[in-house]
Copies of this chain bind each other. A is one copy, B any other.
Amino acid sequence: MNASPTLFNRLALIGVGLIGSSIARAARAQHAARSIVATARSPQTRRRVAELGLADQVVETNAAAVEGADLVIVCVPVGACGEVAREIGPHLAAGAIVSDVGSVKASVVRDMAPHLPPHAHFVPAHPVAGTEYSGPDAGFAELFVNRWCILTPPEGADAGAVDRLAAFWRLLGANVEVMSADHHDMVLAITSHLPHLIAYTIVGTADELQTVTRSEVLKFSAGGFRDFTRIAASDPTMWRDIFLANKDAVLEMLGRFNEDVSVLTKAIRKGDGEALFAHFTRTRAIRKGIVDIGQDSPAPDFGRPHPGLPASPLPKPYAAED
């Protein structure tokens, strides 16, 4: 049945939001599984998944989804992973690989592992990719291309299972890195969780001002604010769960951030232009590093579209030398 070590017979997706539906589309496009079975908690989502043709089969329960699957990927908010593991544990096939896509790993391991039978291979994963949109309509097959997928196999994990899951993600276009769950949670606290918390905060701050109206905040947002609103439009349930699940690392990073805010605040208050200039020069290099390794576009303004100039009512000036 298994023509290639990276080809799975039956991929079960539990949860079909932005990430789950992108996996379904990419796995289909790359022939990464002979068949795809999907389930979702709400009847509306299941119906939409069927309408979109994202899976070969849409079933009603998590237990039914994993029957006979050799790869199960749990694509639900991290706070719901434990309950899903409890439901699927008794129904997992021998040798099945069980993975997830959560943005926190230590809590997911703690919540899921106890419910999984020894004959299944648990390999937690986190594809570092996404957009501000949610739901089965928001996904697309290219979401993971050139992004990183981090695997955090527990000690003693089956090496063959880790390799097969890594091959699956590479087939979807991702780069794969392996690290411990604890280190993952520290890395993501600074590269993802703190930025989201700060963006959520500042957007809230702007909305509560008395001196500046909401209409003004929206109109003049192109000065920088609008960038933060994209992140602050991310799925509220997903992000609530992330902050609860990665509390310690997030609080640690928040503490360091607050110290640095204090330093820059003091420089502003004292009028210390040299300190500000030195700081602002250093951060420019980080941007260059991200663009250089292909993790963002060098196009100005993220490549945002710029509509053309309006038709000019004025004649070409007779004296112009162009």
Contact = CB atoms under 8 A, between A and B. Distances in A.
Interface string A118-160: 0000000000111111000010111101111010000000000
Interface string A253-286: 1101110110011001101010011011111101
Given A207-B286, A218-B286, 15 more contacts: A79-B273, A187-B212, A187-B216, A192-B223, A197-B264, A199-B283, A200-B280, A217-B286, A218-B289, A218-B293, A226-B295, A236-B284, A244-B268, A251-B268, A297-B304
B204 A260 contact: yes
A205 B256 contact: yes
A143 to B, nearest CB: 7
A195 B232 CA distance: 13
Interface stretch (A32-40, A42-50, A64-72, A93-101): A32-40
A201 B142 contact: no
Nearest to A241: B273
Interface string A295-322: 1110111111111111011111111111
A81 to B, nearest CB: 15
Interface of A: 3-4, 6-7, 26, 28-35, 53, 56, 79, 103, 128-133, 138, 140-143, 145-148, 150, 171-173, 177, 186-188, 190-209, 211-212, 214, 216-234, 236-237, 239-241, 243-244, 247, 250-251, 253-254, 256-258, 260-261, 264-265, 268-269, 271, 273, 276-277, 279-284, 286-290, 293, 295-297, 299-310, 312-322
A251 to B, nearest CB: 6
A292 to B, nearest CB: 8
Given A173-B310, A204-B283, A219-B148, A34 B132 contact: no
Given A191-B220, A302-B303, A317 B31 contact: yes
A276 B319 contact: no
Contact of A31 (B240, B280, B312): B312
Given A302-B303, A303-B305, A283 B203 contact: yes
Contacts of A288: 233
Nearest to A129: B222
A294 to B, nearest CB: 9
A289 to B, nearest CB: 5
Given A207-B282, A229-B287, A290-B226, A304 B296 contact: yes
A315 B53 contact: no
A30 B312 contact: yes
Those 7 A-B pairs whose CB atoms lie nearest each other, nearest first: A192-B223, A233-B287, A131-B300, A236-B280, A195-B224, A302-B302, A34-B317
A320 B141 contact: no
Given A253-B205, A301-B131, A320 B31 contact: yes
Contacts of A320: 28, 31, 34-35, 56
B240 A280 contact: yes
Contacts of A289: 214, 218
A293 B217 CA distance: 12
Contacts of A28: 320, 322
